[in-house]
Structure formats: structure tokens, C-alpha cells
A and B are shown apart, each in its own frame.
Chain A
Amino acid sequence: MEAYKLPLGRTMERFVDWLVDSGAWFFDSLAIALEWLIDGATDNLLLLPPWLFIAITGVLAQWLRRNTGLTIFTVLSFLLIWNLGYWEATIETLVMVVCATSLCVLIGVPIGIAAAHRPLLYTLLRPVLDLMQTVPTFVYLIPTLTLFGLGVVPGLIATIVFSIAAPIRLTYLGIFQVPKELVEAGKSFGCSNRQLLWRIELPAAASSIAAGITQCIMLSLSMVVISALVGANGLGRPVVRALNTVDIASGFEAGLAIVLLAIVLDRLLKQRHEVS
């Protein structure tokens, strides 16, 4: 049976090689742009002294949530991270997560909207989304590496591939579930298609889309360690190093920093349930 092995792997390899050969200019410029974006943002944020950053975050948290307990928790978490010596790594991870999520939203929300309006597109899209979430990350990390080289960009791309399904799915769901009567009401009062989208569908789907964005942030955060494997900076790097040197102490600390960051982001961004 194995004598006539189907050349699936070889074909894929040839395809990636072809991509590298013919699309080098595209992937290179994309890599440079993304790297410039992430490095620039990180450098600028690191210019701020940590105490100022923490103070600003505290004020922001209080303004956003009006929950003093949460504000205190946020400030204490960041102070602990600073104290443990993971300040720079945390900022790097934060920038990475924000960049990945922004790109996911920019790409994912329009795709979700389009899919909700075109049943055929969603039928085609669904297996692709399933695939992106189930294929082990390392599998597509390999071609990403050959296309973009080592560094922060392949990590970012892998993160986007893994987490973009959330905003697409939840945007689709949100728009799809807009009550038919609301759309009819919009149409009957003379909304154009654009007005229908902006005045009815998006506001009605807003909570679902927001949930997709929060989920996207959490999924991006869960990719920090894998990004670190291909050379991205951030909180994943100390985890990887601790794994290689069986360093329980620094592994625990870096892990704690990731968890704290995740909890803070989740609590700050999760939408309030409106009390009517």
C-alpha cells in the first residue's frame, strides 16, 4: 500500500515553494510593515514609565467599568507584573494581542457580515473556519516561517489564523439573528442597503460582535507561547526558556503574568449585560 504513496505533502511543499518564489516581494513587504507596526507601538509604549502606564490603565478601568474593586485588582496585577520583572514582556505581548485582534476584527467582521447576507458564502466558509481552528498550530507555523522568516510576524500571522474564526462566526451569528421584523421595519421606512446595515443590523448585532472581539483577544493571548517559539518577543519567551531549562520558578512567574493579563483584559472588555 505504501509503495504508491500519494504525493500530498510534496504537492503542498511545492505550492509553498512557489509562493516563496513568486510572492517574495509581497510577503517581505507585509512582514516589514507588520514588524514596523508592532515594534513601533511597543517602543512607544515602553517610553512611558511603568507607574504612569499603570496609573492611566487604572483611570481607564475606573471610567470604563465604574467598579472600584476591579480597578484595584487591575492596578495590583500590573504592579505585581512590574515587580516580578516582566514589564517589557507584558507590554510586548499586549501590543501583539492588540495588533492581532485589530487585524482580526478588520478582516473578520466584514467577512462575517458578507457571510450573513450570502448563505452560499457561509456554506463555503464554515469548513475553512473549522479547519483553521482544528489544524494544529505547528502545521501552518512551518509554511508561515518560510514565508515570513523568524520573528514577530509569523507569530502574528499564526495568531490571526487561529483567532479570526471567533469574530467571523459571532458577527455572522449576530447579523443572521437580527429579528426579521426589525429588518422589515427598516426596509418599509425606506432604508437603503447601506442604511439597513449601519442603522439596523450592526446595532442589533453589536453585543454579539463585541463578544466575538473579547473571544478573539483571549484566543490571541493563548497563542503567546507558540509565537515565542518562532521568535516573537513577549511573555511566551520566558515560558519557552523555562521549559528548556526546567526552571520551575521563572515558568511559574511568567505563567502567572499571562494569567493576570488575561483576567484583566477579560474583565475590562467583557460587555456589561444591560439591566432594563
Chain B
Amino acid sequence: MIEFKNVDLVFGKNPERALPLLDQGYDRDRLQGETGLVLGVSQANLKVNKGEICVLMGLSGSGKSSLLRCVNGLNPVTRGEVLIEHKGEVINFFDADAHTQREIRMKRISMVFQKFALMPWLTVAENIGFALDVQGLAKDEIARRVDAQLELVGLTEWRDHKPSALSGGMQQRVGLARALATESDILLMDEPFSALDPLIRQQLQEELLQLQSRLQKTIVFVSHDLDEALKLGNTIAIMKDGCIVQQGNPQDIVLNPATQYVEDFVAHTNPLHVLLCGDIADPLTALPANEGQYCIDTKQDCWFNPDSQEAHCQNQSVPVQRWQEDEPKSALKGCPTLVSAKASFHDALEIRHRTGYAVLVECDDRSFKVIGDDQLYRGLLGKLG
């Protein structure tokens, strides 16, 4: 668990003198104009639960990397607290003495960098073992853990090469392996995939998600790419000019952008992998009804009875099939399909395309919703609700 409490971060000489000015309501530009101090982060409050990925998202200069660096003290906060769990108690990193801070950095928090930050004079294996060597672990223990990490990231045959011989994607795998080698439970990732080609980036995103499902680390991930944030994040905090303007889960951000700034970001994302069927479907009660049946498709004249879960089109009875998220879509027949609210927008689109019929959504409370063409188009255009 990590918790930021009222964190202010000011860069410059004697940053404390900015605090009374901030309390008077100075903004970033005014503070810099009058004192020369740069406001990195202002009043950040954020909680990251254990086993979650929290993505700090924003444009460059929005303070996302600065906030990330507060967690392990690379940036000392000017005011506020960064709480983490250490030895069974919750402590503020900046209240800890130098020895404890070092111990936390060695064993509790590790970091992955945008430009990899590998030591060019060390081999891949030595880079991965760097943090362990700093801790003064025994040689065979280091070798054991390094071998395990090499295998995990699939670079075993590169162990004795220098990083410069590796491609960008492989170098960042080394960076990730170095961070994982300490077996710390908090992982800070500072735009780790931004310097990579789009295909490699997606591949590493997938790998990170796979690793995360097994390792259950607490990850703070910085990104300037909303698609990446939506794909990886359990929580997303969107930052602008040093402030967190909105935080919430991916669906929240896409469906209810808090400000114009967030809306602009959302307008350029692909909603297919973010939104769920439950988000885009409309309740049956919004449809034309007749004797307990609802018209789920006016063109095909299809009607659905939620009580008997039967459907008929043009006065002929048609079966209703169920689809679970792990089933292949190739087996679907040409009839209305019932899916769970947790299925993705992408699934709904594909099912509609394959079956030629509207998609019915069964919500957790046993009520039914429908996804027809109208709902699909509005979802794609971002004009829901």
C-alpha cells in the first residue's frame, strides 16, 4: 500500500518559503514569476492498494514523474506525507531515518526507468544483480536470483552481453528484471515503455500484466499515453500542472471525464478495450414494450421476453444462446446472445458482427440490458449517456 497525503513538492532553493504563498492560492505561474521556485506537485492525495496498478497520467511537465519520485525519496516532498507499510507498520518515508530509508529503497521499493538506466560497463547478469550486490548478498544467492530473473524475462542466452548489444525492448526487460530481482513489493515505473516502438510497447504491456497477475506487486506507473493507462491501470490519476484533476477506474475516466482536459484525452482513445458491455448497454425498459416483451431490434422485428428468456423474430421463435468470456466466438450461432456485464465492448462488437443479432446483457442484479447497433455506434463515438 502507498498513500500520498496532501503532498506538495516545490523545486528550487529553500522551497519551504513557497508554502505560505501556496496557501494564499498562488498557482504555478505566479509562484515561479515571483520567487523563481517551480511547483512540481500540489496537494496530491492518492491511495494505491496492495496488488494494484495505479497509473499517473498526464502531459510532460504535469508533475507525474515528480510525484512518483516522492515514493522512494528521489524527490523529497516539501510538505505532506508519503505513507508506506514497512515491517508491519505504516510509516511516512520522510519521517524515517537515513538507515531506514536506505533499507526501504533496497528491499521494499524498486524502480524502472524511461531510458532504462542500465550500467553500460556491466553485463546483463551484473546489471540484474546490481541491487543485490549493493545489499551485499552472497555471490551464490545473487547468481540464483539473477538466473531466475533472466529466465522470467527470457534473456538467459544474453546474460554475458553488454546492454548496448541488446534492442530497446530487451534492455527494458533487463531493467524490469533488475527491479524484480530485489523481490520488493512496490514497483515504481517511470514511463518505462515510452522509448519503445509501438509493437514492442504493446508486447511489454502484455508481459507486465501477465507478471502482475502472478506477482501481485503494488505498482505506480507513469505514462503520458491514455491508452496505455487504460490498459494497465486499476486506478488512473490524471495530472495537470502539478494537480491531480481526476482519479478513478478506467471506465470512470472514459465515461465521466471530470474536466475538459480529461475529455480531450478521452476523445482520442480507443474505447473498445476499456468499456464493458454493462457500460454501453441500455436497459430494456427504454425500449418499446408489448405484453412483457421488449423490441430489441426494430428492423428485424425481434422481441425478447426477460421473464422466460425467450425471443422471437418476425413471429418466429428463435433460441437465445449464452456466451461466457473464455469461450471461442466461432461456435456462436445466428441468434441473439446473452453475455455478462463484465464482457468487453470489443466482445460485444464481434458477437454482433458474427451473429447478426442484438446482444443481450445480463446484469449482476438479474435485470437485462441490450446492445443494439445504436448503442454500439454511440459507444464508438464516445457519446454515451
Would you call A262 an interface residue if the criterion is a C-beta within 8 Å of the partner chain's C-beta atoms?
Answer: no
A203 to B134, CA, bound (A): 15
Bound-state Cα–Cα, A162 to B351, Å: 81
Question: Closest CB-CB distance, A192 to chain B, in whole Å?
Answer: 7
**Interface residues as binary, B128-168 with A (CB distance below 8 Å gives 1, 0 otherwise):** 00110111000000000000000000000000001011000
In the bound complex, CA of A181 to CA of B115 (Å): 8
Task: Write the nearest CB–CB distance from B170 to chain A, whole angstroms.
Answer: 14
Of A28-36, A103-111, A182-190, the stretch lying at the interface with chain B is A182-190
B134, A191: Cβ atoms closer than 8 Å: yes
B105 x A189 contact (CB < 8 A): yes
Q: Contacts A179-B117, A184-B74, A184-B113: A190 and B134 contacting too (C-beta < 8 A)?
A: yes
Q: Which residues of B contact A187 (CB under 8 A)?
A: 72, 74, 105
Chain B residues touching A, range: 20 to 34
B99-115 at interface with A (beta carbon < 8 Å): 102-103, 105-107, 109-111, 113-115
Task: Tell me, rounded to whole Å, the shortest Cβ–Cβ distance linking B113 to chain A.
Answer: 5
Within 8 A of A (CB), among B183-233: 188
Residues of B within 8 A of A188 (CB): 72, 74, 105, 109-111, 188
A184–B175 CA distance with the chains assembled, in angstroms = 13
Q: Which chain A residue shows the least CB distance to B165?
A: A276
A224 interface hit (Cβ, 8 Å): no
Cα distance A182–B114 when bound, in Å? 11
Q: Are B162 and A190 in contact (CB under 8 A)?
A: no
In the assembled complex, the Cα of A200 lies from the Cα of B130 at a distance in Å of: 10
Give residues of chain A (47-80) contacting chain B, Cβ–Cβ below 8 Å.
Answer: none
Number of interface residues of A (CB under 8 A): 19
Chain A proximity of B114: nearest CB distance (Å) = 8
Find residues 196-235 in chain A having any chain B CB closer than 8 Å to their own CB: 199-200, 203-204, 206
| Cβ-closest chain B residue relative to A206 | B121
The minimal Cβ–Cβ distance linking A239 to chain B, given in whole angstroms, is 42
* CB closest chain-A residue, reference B109: A188
Is A177 part of the contact surface with B, judged by Cβ < 8 Å? Answer: no
- Is A146 positioned at the interface, with any CB of B under 8 Å from its CB? no
B103 contacts A184, CB within 8 Å? Answer: no
From known contacts A188-B72, A190-B134, A206-B121, infer whether A276 and B109 are also in contact, taking CB-CB under 8 Å. no
Are A190 and B102 in contact, with the CB atoms below 8 A? yes
**Nearest-CB distance from A174 to chain B (Å)?**
13
Contact across chains for A190 and B103 when beta carbons are under 8 A apart = yes
**Would A204 and B121 be within 8 Å (CB), given that A190-B102, A199-B134 are in contact?**
yes
The answer to whether B117 and A192 have CB atoms under 8 Å apart is: no
The yes or no answer to A195 lying at the interface (CB within 8 A) is yes
* Residue of B115, B116, B117, B162 touching A276 (CB-CB under 8 A): B162
- Does B182 reach chain A (CB closer than 8 Å)? yes
- With A200-B119, A276-B165 in contact, is A189–B113 under 8 Å at CB? no
- The smallest beta-carbon distance between A184 and chain B, in angstroms, is 6
Closest Cβ of chain B to A191, distance in Å, is: 5
Contact yes or no, A185 B134, CB < 8 A: no
Give Cα A191 to B131, complex, Å: 8
- What's the nearest-Cβ distance from chain B to residue A276, in Å? 4
Closest CB in chain B relative to A5 CB, distance in Å: 45
Residue of B nearest to A183 (CB): B117
The answer to whether B135 and A190 touch across the interface, beta carbons within 8 angstroms, is: yes
Given contact pairs A203-B119, A203-B121, A189 touches B130 in the complex (Cβ within 8 A):
yes
Most chain A beta-carbon contacts within 10 A, residue among B69, B102, B135: B102
A262 to B356, CA, bound (A): 86
Please name all residues of chain B whose beta carbon is closer than 8 Å to the beta carbon of A189 when the two chains form the complex: 105-106, 110-111, 130-131, 134, 178, 182
* Residues in A neighbouring B74, C-beta threshold 8 A: 184, 187-188
Complex: how many Å from CA A181 to CA B103?
A: 20
Partner of B117, one of A181, A190, A199, A206: A181
Nearest residue (CB) in A for B163 is A276
Would you call A276 and B119 a contact (CB within 8 A)?
Answer: no
Rounded to whole Å, the gap between the CB of B365 and the closest CB of chain A is 47
**A253 CA / B72 CA spacing, docked (Å):** 65
In Å, the complex CA distance between A184 and B164 comes to: 20
For B178, the chain A residues whose CB sits under 8 A away are 189
A182 CA to B69 CA, complexed, in Å: 14
Q: How far is the CB of B196 from chain A (nearest CB, A)?
A: 16
Residues of B330-350 contacting chain A, CB below 8 A:
none
* 0 or 1 for each of B172-185: is its CB under 8 Å from A? (1 = yes): 00000010001000
Q: Chain B residues in contact with chain A, CB under 8 A?
A: 69, 72, 74, 102-103, 105-107, 109-111, 113-117, 119-121, 130-131, 133-135, 162, 164-165, 178, 182, 188
Chain A residues packing against B (C-beta within 8 Å)? 179, 181-182, 184-192, 195, 199-200, 203-204, 206, 276
Report 22 cross-chain contacts, Cβ distance below 8 Å, ordered by A residue. A179-B115, A181-B114, A181-B117, A182-B117, A182-B119, A184-B74, A185-B113, A186-B134, A187-B105, A188-B74, A188-B109, A189-B105, A189-B106, A189-B130, A189-B131, A190-B105, A190-B106, A190-B134, A192-B102, A199-B130, A204-B119, A204-B121
**Further pairs besides A189-B110, A190-B103, A190-B107: 5, Cβ < 8 Å:** A185-B111, A187-B105, A190-B131, A204-B119, A276-B165
